[in-house]
Structure 1
Amino acid sequence: MNIRLTINGHRIDAVLNDSAAAHDFASLLPLTLDLKDFHETERVAHLPRKLDTSGAPDTADPKAGDLAHYAPWQNLALFHRDGETSPGLVILGHLSDSKDIDRLATADRVTIEAPA
């Protein structure tokens, strides 16, 4: 599923994968979330609820541009750098264009929606 992130007035396209967690995330859209830095690798925000992670691998190896759900903390994570393998992390999708990854590093707020 295609989604759109808006950060500081810039529209960024992304694609969600076909996992249960990604479908559950899409059901929450549209969302506007305040973001905070986490380890200078990702921007994180608390989701309104935990996502369905049935069928997800136990760990994930996030890459720059990934959108992920960290189930233990009920967070959305937007990776602007490659991250470490993490138990409880479920990759939801990825930015469509790598040139947009740098915008994630300084984002304080994001709106995520399904494009019309």
Structure 2
Amino acid sequence: MQIELTINDTLVTGDLYDHPVARELFELLPLELVFNDFNQVEKVAPLGSSLTLRGVPRADAPGPGEIGYYAPSQGLVLYYDSPGRWPGLVVMGQFDYDLNALRALPDGTRIRIAAAP
């Protein structure tokens, strides 16, 4: 499932993996979310609703350049570093954006996520 993220007028390509959580997120697109830095590892935005956790591992260890969902806070996450393995984390896809630029984004940055045409 190909997606596009719009970050400060820059169009970024990405893919969502083929599993139930990613498919459910894909059905919600397009979304415009406000991202804030968390733990100097990731940018996170409240999704506003919970996604199913059926069919995915109970814990995951995302890497830089991946998209995740953190079930306890219902957050959509863009990783620029590795947070380690955590229960409730689900890796949902990947994106192609300069990770240093992502790290430098100020809190409150709006990012639009849509299905690629």
TM-score by length of 2: 0.92
Name the structure 1 match of 2:63.
Answer: 63
Q: Give CA-to-partner distance per residue, 1:7-48, whole Å, 9 cap, x none.
A: 011111010000100000001100000101100100000002
Distance in 2, matches of 1:106 and 1:30, equals: 24
Q: Give matches, 1:73-88, under 5 Å.
A: 73-88=73-88
Gaps of 5+ in 2: none
Gaps of 5+ in 1: none
Superposition RMSD in Å: 1.1
When structure 1 is superposed on structure 2, of 104-113 and 77-86 the one drifting more is: 104-113
Name the structure 1 match of 2:101.
Answer: 103
Name the structure 1 match of 2:36.
Answer: 36
How high is the sequence identity, in percent, across the aligned residues? 37
Name the structure 1 match of 2:25.
Answer: 25
When structure 1 is superposed on structure 2, of 101-110 and 40-49 the one drifting more is: 101-110
Distance in 2, matches of 1:15 and 1:105, equals: 20
SS in 2 for 1:102: helix
TM-score by length of 1: 0.93
Number of matched pairs:
114
Q: State whether residues 7 and 103 of structure 1, in contact with CA within 8 Å, keep that contact through their aligned partners in structure 2.
A: no
Name the structure 1 match of 2:115.
Answer: 114
Q: State whether residues 25 and 51 of structure 1, in contact with CA within 8 Å, keep that contact through their aligned partners in structure 2.
A: yes
Q: Give CA-to-partner distance per residue, 1:80-109, whole Å, 9 cap, x none.
A: 1122111100011011x3x53333213322
Q: Flag as ranges the 4+ runs of structure 1 deviating above 6 A.
A: none
